[in-house]
Amino acid sequence: MKSSISALICLCLLSCNESNSKIKKVSLSPKPADSNYKIIQTVKPIIKKPKLPEILTDIDGNKYKTVNIGGQTWMAENLRVTRYRNGDSIEYNRLKDWEENTIQYYYVERKKDEGYWFYADNDKNTDSLFGKLYNWYAINDSRNIAPNGWHVPNATDYLRLMKYMIDKYGSLKGETIMANSILWYNHVIGGDYNNTGFSAIPVGTHNDHTAIFWTSTLFDTRFGAYYFSVDWRGEIGENIHGDLSYQRTDSPTSCRLIKN
């Protein structure tokens, strides 16, 4: 009887040893990567936020949208400031107008070459849409009408803009800088309007037919200063070659600024 019990105990111990030999040890430390062991690494995607256009603020606190066109950073709205950079006020004046060939022209009496600003149509309610108009003496004053880091574009700045348009679109397509707006005479919705984001609107010297912007470049003390323009037909400048024209320095005209 005792020998039978002893044999049974030996058999059980032998069975336990065989079972233990089949048990794999579990390690809490990470295993090296191989064909049977994969390490899954979670990588957070890098999301680049689009760079927002710069907002320009003038000395009066007016804020303006800007746009980059061919490496140049332009205001996308017309200037509305009433003070120079040093805080001196630009004198306000009322427009004097007369009509010729159904197109309304605005002029003021020259007074010692002083700078003035004006409301379009002598109506302050037009300010947020059209901006203010200035004579050339205001935009060319040594006290600077532009905030730090900006300036009134010279003729070369506008010629560079036109070169970009030719390189980009194959010609001087005025629609690409014209706001898609019913403010334009005989406006037709669609096409290539405002592809550049410049958002030119007709106001000032030529009413709803043409958008005109001062340059800081004087043509002649007798005949005036250069300006950049686009008319309702999409024509830029004085002729098909896009030559800049000039006008009297006392002509109330829109102004854009460009970043230095």
Domain ranges of the chain: 63-259
Tokens 């000039």 appear where? 246
Spatial CA neighbour of 73 closest among 193, 164, 11: 164
Rounded Cα–Cα distance for residues 73 and 54 (Å): 9
Whether 19 shows a pLDDT value over 60: the answer reads no
Check residue 156 and give its pLDDT: 94
Spatial CA neighbour of 221 closest among 157, 156, 136: 136
Which tens digit of pLDDT belongs to each residue from 23-56?
Answer: 455 455 555 555 555 555 555 666 656 666 789 9
Q: What would the mean pLDDT of 48-65 be, rounded to a whole number?
A: 85
Check residue 117 and give its pLDDT: 94
Q: Please check whether residue 189 is in contact with residue 208, taking contact to mean a CB–CB distance below 8 angstroms.
A: no
